[in-house]
Amino acid sequence: MSGHATLLRTLLPPVSYDPNGMAIGAHLTAEGAALDAALAASVRAVLGINPFRATEWLEDWERVYGLPDPCARAERTLQERITALAIAVQERGGLSRGWYVRLGAMLGYTVTVREYQPFRAGRSRAGDALTNGDWQFAWAVASPAQTVHRFRAGRSAAGEPLAHWGDEILECVMRRLAPAHTKVLFIYG
Is residue 91 located within the same domain as residue 174?
yes
Q: What is the pLDDT of residues 63-117, one digit of tens each?
A: 888 888 777 777 888 888 888 888 788 776 567 888 899 888 888 889 999 987 7
Q: Which residues of the chain have a pLDDT value below 50?
A: none
- Domain count for the chain, please give it: 2
Give me the pLDDT at residue 35, please: 92
Pair 73, 169: CB distance under 8 Å: yes
Is residue 136 located within the same domain as residue 159?
yes
Is residue 166 located within the same domain as residue 82?
yes
Encode 118-137: b = buried (16+ Cβ within 10 Å), e = exposed: eeeeeeeeeeeeeeeeeeee
List the domain range (segments joined by +) for residue 139: 55-188
Give me the pLDDT at residue 111, please: 93
Is residue 26 located within the same domain as residue 92?
no
Is residue 43 located within the same domain as residue 66?
no
